[in-house]
Structures are given as structure tokens and as C-alpha cells.
Amino acid sequence: MKIANHTVVEIHYTLKDADGTVIDSSANGEPLKYLQGVGNIIPGLEREMLEKAPGDKFTAVIAPEDGYGQQNPELIQTMPRSAFGGVEDLEVGMAFRAESTDGHPIEVEIIDIDGDEVTINGNHPLAGVELHFDIEVVSVREASAEEIDHGHVH
């Protein structure tokens, strides 16, 4: 069976950046299982998966626009230390949940601390990164009506 919308797909993958640095991999674990065609994975990879079949191995290069988007400078902000509600030991690299301007929860990371000013970045860590995937399709099956209705694999 080939991958089409509303199929359940299992893949092994290795994700690298343009320099070849491994970002993530399922190689030493369980394959990733997802429902094709409902946005469970990034759009560029979902398009590349169509028509593949179990046993297929391929490489896909996904531009930032089809992955996690470009860096949005509006998501980098400097705020007073007091905005962190009494957290005493702030450090670069710490992550917090915040609310975006449209009211959705986002994760922000502290990228700089200068005295009482703290700079945060709300962009996804892979925003602006060209993604290089090595993929092996493990299995493909029809999704159940319940999986399609719920939008994810059971």
C-alpha cells in the first residue's frame, strides 16, 4: 500500500541541518507513527511522503517555509526581569510558556540577560533552518474512522 491521505504511516528518520549535524533521529528507538494528510508532521515532509511505500528509503530537503517557517523578529522581545514573576535565577537557555499576541500558548526561550533586561525568543528552535531528512518507510495502513475523526493515530 502506498502513502495517501488518511493512511497511518510508520517511519524511521534522521533529521539533520544543512551542515549535517544530527538534530533528531528515531534510529535507536521506535519508528514515528503519524496520520498522513492532517498536519501531524511539517507540510514539506508530508508532501514528500505521498506515494511512498513500505521499504522505500529516501532523502528530503525541506525549506524553512515548508518546515517551521522563517524567524519572526516580532517574536524576539526584551522585557524587564520583573515580568518573570519572581523567578530568581534566570539563565540563558531557560524556557517558559507564554501567550502570543493572538492569545495562543507559545514556548519562549531566554536568549540574553543584561542586568534587569531579559531578551526572549518565541520562534520555534528550527525556524529558519533548512531540514534534511533521511527517511525509511516501515509500514502503511488504512486509518480507522475513529483515527480520521480524531485527527491522530490510536
Instruction: Evaluate whether the domain defined by 7-68+126-150 bears CATH number 3.50.50.60.
Output: no
* CA distances from residue 113 to 35, 54, 88, 99 in whole angstroms, order as listed: 41, 49, 13, 21
- What burial class does residue 116 get, using C-beta atoms within 10 Å of its C-beta: 0-12 exposed, 13-18 middle, 19+ buried? exposed
The CATH class given to the 73-121 domain equals mainly beta
Task: Give the model confidence (pLDDT) of 37-88 as tens digits.
Answer: 999 999 999 999 999 999 999 999 999 999 999 999 999 999 999 888 878 8
Q: Is the dihedral of CA 107, 110, 111, 116 positive or negative?
A: positive
Contact 36, 3 (CB under 8 A): yes
Q: pTM higher than 0.85, yes or no? A: no
Task: Give the model confidence (pLDDT) of 113-149 as tens digits.
Answer: 999 999 999 999 999 999 999 999 999 999 999 999 9
Amino acid 105 reads P
Task: Give the model confidence (pLDDT) of 97-107 as tens digits.
Answer: 887 777 888 89
Residue range(s) of every CATH 2.40.10.330 domain in the chain: 73-121
